[in-house]
Homo-oligomer: A and B are copies of this chain.
Amino acid sequence: MARVRIKDVARHAGVSEKTVSNVINDYVHVSDRTRRVVQEAIDHLGYKVNLAGRHLRKGRTGIIALVVPELDVPYFAELARHVIREAEQRSLTVLIHQTGADRDHELAALAGFGSTFVDGVILSPLALTADDLRSRTDAPPTVLLGELLEEGADHVAIDNEKAAREATEHLIGLGRRTILAVGGRDDAGLGTAEARTRGYRAALAAAGLAFDPAALLPVPSFRMPDGAEAVARALDEGARPDALLCLNDQLALGALRTLYEYGMRVPEDVAVIGFDDVEGGRFSTPTLSTVAPDKAAVARIAIDLLRHRMDEAATPAPGDTSPAGVRSPQDLVVAHRLVLRESTEGAARRSRDPQDAERHANDGESGN
C-alpha cells in the first residue's frame, strides 16, 4: 500500500535513482539492457510518477485551464470537447472551470487560481472588463476566446460582425423586412453580442432598412428560456417580425418554441437563424439555420497560441527584462460559414439530400 518511489525502483533494479528517472523520461543514453531491467522493476512494483515531485522540480504541471461561463451551454461543451482533444495530442491535461459568468471567478482564473498550478489559461470571458485584463500581473499565459477585451492578450474568434451581417443579409435576401435581433444590445463595446449587433445593423443599413432600437431584444443570458421569453414578450407587446436573428442557437431554439406556441409558422411566417451550430439545431423542428464557427479550428488555434506563450514563459528571455523575443499579441480569426436549414429555407430546399426529400415528401403527405 505504501507508495512506490523512484528510490524503491532504483533499489529493486540495482541502479541509481537518476537512471530510473532517465528511463522514465526517455533519455537517449540508456543502454537497452538497463532500460529493460528498470522497466521490469517499474512494472513489478507498480511505480507511478508522482506529479508533485516532478512539478516542483520542473516548474510545470502540464495542466491548462479552460474557463467558460457555463458548461451546460452546448456551445461551450462542444468547444471543450475539441480543446480537450487537441490538448491531449500535445500531452496537456485540461482542467475545466466554469465561472457562472461571475467576474470574481473569471478574475481568479486569470490569476491562475490564486496559485501556480496551471501552465496556461484559455478563457472565454463574459463579465471581465478590459481594465481587469490590463491590470493583471504575473498571470499565467492566457488566450481569450470570443470576446476581444483589449489588445493585450492573444485572442481567437470568428469575425462576428461579418458573420452577423451575412446572416442578416440572408434573411433580407428571403424578402424579410422586419428582423428582430434576439440578444442584441447597444452596439458600443467589444463583446460578442455587440459585434453581432453591429453586423446586424450594417446589413440593415446596406439594404436601406430602418433600424428600430426596439428590434433589439436584450436577454439576461444566452439560453433557451431567455430566447423563449424575450420573443414572447416582444410578440405580446405587438411586434410582428418576419424574421429573427438570434445571437446564438440556444436563444433561437427557445424562440422556435415560442413561435410554435403562438402559432407562427417557421419559416413561412417568421424565418429564424442562430449562431454556433450546436447539435440541437440539427434535430429541432424545424431544423435551425445557423452561423457555424469552425470549432475545431478555434480549439486548435487557441492551444497553439497558448503553447507558444507557455514556451516563451519557460525560456527566460536572454535579455531578461527586455521583452525581446516575446511575440506581440495575436488576434486570430477563424472561419465560419452559413448553414442553411429549414428555419430559413423551408422544407423545399432540403430536397438536395435525396433521403431527406423522401422523408419530407412523406411528411408533407400526412403532416396534418
Contact = CB atoms under 8 A, between A and B. Distances in A.
Interface of A: 1, 3, 46, 48-53, 55-56, 59, 61, 63, 70-72, 74, 77-78, 80-81, 84, 93-98, 111-117, 137-138, 223-225, 228, 232, 253-254, 256-258, 260-265, 279-280, 282-285, 287, 321, 356, 359-360, 362-368
Contacts of A256: 283, 285
A74 B59 CA distance: 36
Copies of this protein chain in the complex: 2
7 contacts: A51-B115, A52-B117, A72-B74, A93-B113, A224-B279, A224-B283, A256-B285
B116 A51 contact: yes
Given A93-B113, A254-B283, A367-B368, 5 more contacts: A70-B81, A81-B98, A93-B95, A224-B280, A253-B283
The interface residues of chain A, by DSSP majority, are classed as mixed
A138 B362 contact: no
B116 A228 contact: no
A262 B59 CA distance: 60
A363 B259 CA distance: 9
A284 to B, nearest CB: 7
A264 B359 CA distance: 11
Contact of A263 (B52, B56, B232, B362): B362
